[in-house]
Structure 1
Amino acid sequence: MGKQIQVDFGETIVKTKEEKSRKLWFIGFVLAHSRYKYVEWRDRPFTTRDVIQCH
């Protein structure tokens, strides 16, 4: 327990209230033992600093 985490990045396109398309980026973490999940979203690609802060 507490020794392994999986990290994945992704992106998706969503519609705004004004019906415009907008791209969002996310980083997701899953703890191997408990399967606890955590996700953070950005309106721009992740930087190294962002990843470190999220982790």
Structure 2
Amino acid sequence: MKIKCFNIVSVVTDNGENKGVIVFINMTMTYYGYSHGATRVELEKVIRICLECVGIG
């Protein structure tokens, strides 16, 4: 029994026809997260976890 594996990008792009649309959506979502402060929140969490592991925080 052979299992066929695929990912959502290959299904949506259908041999690379709409790859520009995927890139545009990715860039839009990245900008949306950045503009709403998601990077600041994630950086604060990472710093807090690292300081707790070292024993300073």
Pick the structure with more strand per residue. Answer: 1
Larger relative contact order, structure 1 or 2 (CA cutoff 8 Å, min sep 6): 1
Larger of the two Rg values belongs to structure: 2
**What range is the shorter-chain TM-score in?**
under 0.3
Using the size of structure 1 for normalisation, the TM-score is 0.27
Structure with greater helix share of residues: 2
